Amino acid sequence: MSHAVQTFLQRHQADIDGVLSGFDRVRFRGTRRAVSFPKGVMGLLWVLQVLLKNLAQFLQGHTKQLKSVTEELAARTPVGQVHYVNSSTQSKEEVVARLVRQHQVPDDFVGLVAVLSCVEPCRTFSVYRNSAQKKLELRSMFRKCLHYYLYIRHPQLGRLHIRIQSWFPFQVQVCMNGREWLAKQMDAAGIAYVRQDNTFGWVADFAAAQTLFDAQMRTPWAEMLSGLLREYHPEFVHLLEQLQLPEPYWTAEQTEWATDVSFRSAEALARLYPRLVRHAVQGLGCADTMRFLQQKLTKSGTIPGQFRKEVVTDVKVRPEGMRVKHRVGANSVKMYDKPGFPKK
């Protein structure tokens, strides 16, 4: 927790019930680095004794195999089949929620709930004919292919999903939520709480809950993420072994870290929040946002002349409250008030 946040909490401790700080949404990417570039793929093809002229046919066979085993997997879920989503912009969480209602999946169901599919962009490899040198070449490129989404209710981690690219090199993502995980931890520890969406407004023992939250940071991530693949789609892992592909190298592609500050009353928050919004908009400039988001400044603390990204601050009123957001490129920090949050 930053020094500024600690100072804020000390100054307003009389109005604060407690604080929780930890992971929100996290998306991990499993990359097979040995085949993430053309030379590496060429080395694999030499081992597998596959000629470039036969590559498309070879890969299509494995994609069909993945489709077949994934459809068999989906047939054993409460939804009963792979559900195709015809637009990558459509919320897949909303689609799953609708399917859960339609198929009357019990709230206490644990396991693979549904499998979705959607055509989305991906990075893959294609064979090109080099007319000048009269030979075939392997090139990395962006294209579109079918992706499978496995939506899971995990007994310890809560709701999460696994995304699998159906075309070589079969890229994988795992998206989970630290607060889903924390809720399961508190359930197991017998700690009462009130939760709305992704926020904890009240916890019977904030200190004990924070200890559980901190324990997430000591997770052996690679072991856990590869274990999820083996548990929920073992035939996919077997397919990768057939291709002699290495274990995924896991990176945190996107991470969200959130701090929930629970005030003793809506009135206490209402007195303070307008001042926080005014300070965030009027008192902070572009250099402050860049410094907080770890962007380089000059020695004098000004914006470098070669900087070309956009620095944005905006305020929006949403159903959950008033949101202030500072953004630089793909990185951002934001603040909400939630005055109507139910208490214990």
Answer yes or no: do 149 and 291 share one domain: no
Tokens of 70: 């994934």
Taking residue 160's Cβ as centre, other Cβ atoms within 10 Å add up to 19
Per the DSSP assignment, residues forming a β-bridge with 146 are: 119
Which domain range does residue 309 map to?
Answer: 265-336
Would you say residue 340 has pLDDT above 70? no
| 40 lies in the same domain as 80 | yes
User: What letter does residue 303 receive in the DSSP assignment?
Assistant: P
The yes-or-no verdict on residue 319 having pLDDT over 90 is no
Cα atoms in the Cβ-side hemisphere of radius 13 Å centred on 290: 16
For 253-286, how does the pLDDT look when each residue is reduced to its tens digit (9 = 90+)?
A: 999 999 999 998 888 998 999 999 999 898 888 8
Please check whether residue 9 lies inside any domain of the structure: no
DSSP 8-class letter at 282: I
Residues 243 and 128 in one domain: yes
Is 88 among the domain residues? yes
Mean pLDDT of the chain: 91
Same domain, 141 and 285: no
Query: What is the pLDDT confidence band of residue 306, given thresholds at 50, 70 and 90?
Result: confident
Q: Which of 224, 241, 257 is the last residue of a domain?
A: 257
- In the chain, the percentage of residues whose pLDDT exceeds 70 is 98
What is the distance in angstroms between the CA of the first residue and the CA of the last residue of the chain?
Answer: 26
The pair phi, psi for residue 109, each rounded to 5°, is -65, 135
Q: What is the CA radius of gyration of the chain?
A: 24
pLDDT per residue over 3-16, tens digit each? 777 888 899 989 99
Average pLDDT over residues 48-77: 92
Are both 252 and 277 inside the same structural domain? no
Query: Which residue did the predictor score with more confidence, 137 or 94?
Result: 94
What are the structure tokens assigned to 156, written together?
A: 């310890």
* Whether the predicted pLDDT of 204 surpasses 70: yes
User: Residue 1's pLDDT is what?
Assistant: 66
Report which of residues 287 and 231 the model is more confident about.
Answer: 231
- Decide if 221 is inside a domain: yes
Question: Is 8 part of any domain?
Answer: no
pLDDT band at 184 (very low <50, low <70, confident <90, very high): very high
The residue from 233, 257, 281 where one domain ends is 257
- Phi-psi category of residue 97: left, alpha or beta, with phi > 0 → left and psi -120 to 50 → alpha: alpha
The reply to whether 284 and 178 lie within a common domain is: no
Tokens, residue 22: 């930890």
Give domain status of residue 292, yes or no.
yes
User: What local confidence, expressed as pLDDT, does residue 72 receive?
Assistant: 96
Examine the domain organization and report whether 320 and 197 are in the same domain.
Answer: no
Q: What is the pTM of this model?
A: 0.89
- Are residues 235 and 282 located together in one domain of the fold? no
Q: What is the pLDDT of residue 122?
A: 92
Q: Are residues 211 and 109 in the same domain?
A: yes
322 within domain boundaries:
yes
198: exposed, middle or buried (C-beta count within 10 Å: 0-12, 13-18, 19+)? middle
User: Is residue 234 reached through a cis peptide bond, with omega within 30 degrees of 0 on the bond before it?
Assistant: no
Q: What is the pLDDT of residue 301?
A: 85
Determine the Cα–Cα distance for residues 307 and 287; give it in Å rounded to an integer. 11
pLDDT, one tens digit per residue, over 110-128 is 999 999 999 999 998 888 8
Question: CA-CA distance, 119 to 113, in Å (whole number)?
Answer: 21
Share of the chain above pLDDT 90, in %: 55
Q: Is residue 332 part of a domain?
A: yes
Q: Which of the four pLDDT bands, split at 50, 70 and 90, describes residue 250?
A: very high
The residue from 257, 291, 307 where one domain ends is: 257
User: Tokens 């993945």 appear where?
Assistant: 66
Same domain for 126 and 192?
A: yes
The torsion angles phi and psi of 341, rounded to 5 degrees, stand at -70, 130
Q: Are residues 169 and 284 in the same domain?
A: no
- pLDDT for 342 equals 66
Is residue 159 located within the same domain as residue 112? yes
CA atoms of 136 and 142, how far apart (whole Å) = 19
Tally of domains within the chain: 2
- Cβ contact 133:123 at 8 Å: no
Q: Which of 19-28, 94-103, 248-257, 291-300 has the lowest mean pLDDT?
A: 291-300
In a domain, 154, yes or no: yes
